Amino acid sequence: MAIDFELNDSIRIYKPAAEEGTTSASSPVLLEWMNLSVRIGSGRTWSFKKKPADSAYILKHATGAVRSGDLVAVMGSSGSGKTTMLAAVSMRLTADVQGSVLINGLFVNPTQMKRLSGFVPQFEIALNSLTVREHLTFVAKLKGVGRAQMKSVINELNLEQCASTRISHLSGGERKKVNLAGELLTEPDVLFCDEPTTGLDSFSALAVINTLRKLAKDSRKAVICTIHHPTSDIFECFSDVILLNRGRTYYQGPTVEATSFFESISLPLPINCNPADYYFKLVCDSDTYDYVDSSESLAGESRNRQEIVRKCQRENVAKKSLMGPYQQGDVIDKLCRNTSYACWLSQLYLLLHRGILDSIRNLREYVIVTFLFL
């Protein structure tokens, strides 16, 4: 049974002594989401009257679980709800969200989720004029992270050789690693990545995914990322896959079991076919692709949904059985720990310093633009 937990200074949690050779950083984490639905369109007019017909669900009753060590791919066509699902599970969405998100059986709110997780957006947020070390130093000071942790992250992602290089001179894969490094500074237990391979060639994309897999296995993090049309090599790197279409989950489970799952509903994988491409086309609309006829598609979709519900329930129960009270104590201890984020005055100083530095290094461009508009 899930426990509704709220932060309180008076709470005292009994935490059993860790086994010899283990640390709290290696304690497993189970992230669950139950019946998540996201609706857009308030349906309000100038008269503030509701119009239910105007609203639409872009995510419908999504349920799943991810634990430490998992690297999960969320796949689907454009507009299928991949990014919405990622934002809803990470509790970084301000839309009308229904459902529950739990970590180790504890209900968490958006503030608590941000303490336990990191979110890497699809687009780059670093200024091109800064070097890798300057950007990470800026982020580390905002988050109250020490220099030792920053150096550890740089070494972990193999960014030592380009630490003094401006971001504008980096390759696409190295830029993705810089964005990832900014989120790893706080040592999150769960990492969300939105389209980490967008704009990369197959070699660079594979290198980024291998980095995420190494983080999941070695650092025992739960990593969830959305991805578009992965190659067969990239697809094999993922431990689990979630297939979405129009906000509905068509499959969620281990990547190696996806083939047998679709074979059980008479949809075997063709010979010499990329599994990711085949599954992607199966869950897309039947009027777009001709892999199966419409009647078989509808019947398969119904069986898929029934099996998905049973599989999610079995997996959640199995994973919950691995969790003991001490794991909940570790999560509560991390939530109750005092954070040392920079105050608003320090943030203002850091932002001004970064802005002035960027202006100085781009002075020629600013002068040219100024004369063009005179």
pLDDT for 321 equals: 44
The backbone region for 362, taken as left when phi is positive above 0, alpha when psi lies in -120 to 50, beta otherwise, is alpha
Provide the pLDDT confidence category of residue 285 given band limits of 50, 70 and 90: low
Alpha helices in the chain (DSSP H): 82-89, 110-116, 132-143, 147-156, 172-184, 202-218, 232-235, 258-263, 275-283, 294-320, 325-336, 344-361, 363-372
3-state DSSP assignment of residue 101: strand
DSSP 53: G
Q: Which residue has the higher pLDDT, 8 or 365?
A: 365
Closest CA to 3 of 323, 338, 334, 336: 323
> What's the mean pLDDT in 345-366?
91
Residue 33 phi/psi, 5-degree rounding, is -135, 140
Please report where in the chains the tokens 């857009």 appear, as a residue. Answer: 40
> What's the mean pLDDT in 117-121?
93
Provide the pLDDT confidence category of residue 329 given band limits of 50, 70 and 90: low
> What's the mean pLDDT in 282-286?
66
Residue 100 phi/psi, 5-degree rounding, is -130, 145
pLDDT for 327 equals: 60
* CA gap 59, 93 in Å, rounded: 12
> What's the mean pLDDT in 342-349?
89
Give me the count of residues in the chain: 374
* Residue 104 in this model has a pLDDT that exceeds 90: no
> What's the mean pLDDT in 4-11?
36
Contact 216, 223 (CB under 8 A): yes
DSSP 234: H
pLDDT for 13 equals: 30
- Give the CA-trace dihedral at 235, 237, 240, 242, to 10 degrees: -30
3-state DSSP assignment of residue 373: coil
pLDDT for 348 equals: 93
CB within 8 Å of 176: residues ≥ 6 apart: 196, 197, 200, 204, 208
* Span 248-279, pLDDT tens digits: 888 888 998 888 888 877 778 898 889 988 88
Half-sphere exposure of 119 (CA within 13 A, CB side): 16
**Beta strands 190-193 and 30-40, pairing class:** unpaired
Provide the pLDDT confidence category of residue 12 given band limits of 50, 70 and 90: very low
* Residue 356 in this model has a pLDDT that exceeds 70: yes
Q: Which residue has the higher pLDDT, 77 or 224?
A: 224
Provide the pLDDT confidence category of residue 303 given band limits of 50, 70 and 90: low
The pTM for the full model equals 0.79
* H or E element at residue 225: strand 222-226
Sign of CA dihedral 287, 291, 297, 300: negative
Q: Please state which of the four CATH numbers 3.40.50.300, 3.40.50.1100, 3.40.50.970, 3.30.830.10 is assigned to the domain occupying 67-92+109-341.
A: 3.40.50.300
DSSP 141: H
pLDDT for 64 equals: 86
* Residue 87 in this model has a pLDDT that exceeds 70: yes
* Span 141-200, pLDDT tens digits: 999 888 999 999 999 999 999 999 999 999 989 999 999 999 999 899 999 999 999 888
